[in-house]
Amino acid sequence: MNAPANCTPDASEHAPYYSRYTSLVNSSDILATLRQQLPETITLFSPLNEDQGNFRYAPGKWSVKQMLGHMIDTERVFTYRALRIARNDKTPMEGFEQDDYVSYGPFGGIPLPELLEEFSHVRAASLDLFRHLDSSAWMRRGTANQSEVTVRAVAYILAGHELHHRNVFREKYLPHLGR
């Protein structure tokens, strides 16, 4: 791995909003973190049955399966951003409306084990992209959702986003699921 991937991004590498995610990552080895997260997330969600996968902790909140679908969609969108920036594509990229993605996603009709398998595939593809980047690609900057971001920051945002949703699951869902 090249040196820039082994350093936590600083605040100039992403919009302030994303500090809520990057601050959750307690490692400077982002590839190792992304690899380690996958089995941890699978272990956390795999004991759930379909009824539990459809559980919402409050009216209007996402179900567990919708939350996993959101994690999958977000990883795809952000890895696409990282790819474009790494390849020096200077075209600004629009944001995406997460609630619309969830509303129009088929997540409720997908068996939970299949969602977890899809998450595994998406993470594996993300890791393949990130592990083949050279040091200059990690530090390239592009514009996404009207803010400048580095490829390195995108990787940390992905890891922190996953940690955020695992924390939400533990705090908001798990107490109601008898686990």
The residues spanned by each domain of the chain are 3-176
DSSP codes, 36-100: HHHHHHHHHHTT--HHHHT--SSTTSPPHHHHHHHHHHHHHHHHHHHHHHHTT----B----HHH
pTM score: 0.94
3 state DSSP class of 110: coil
Q: What is the pLDDT along the chain (179 residues), one digit of tens a residue?
A: 445 666 789 999 999 999 999 999 999 899 999 999 999 999 999 999 999 999 999 999 999 999 999 999 999 999 999 999 999 999 999 999 999 999 999 999 999 999 999 999 999 999 999 999 999 999 999 999 999 999 999 999 999 999 999 999 999 999 999 76
Q: Does domain 3-176 have CATH number 3.40.50.1980?
A: no
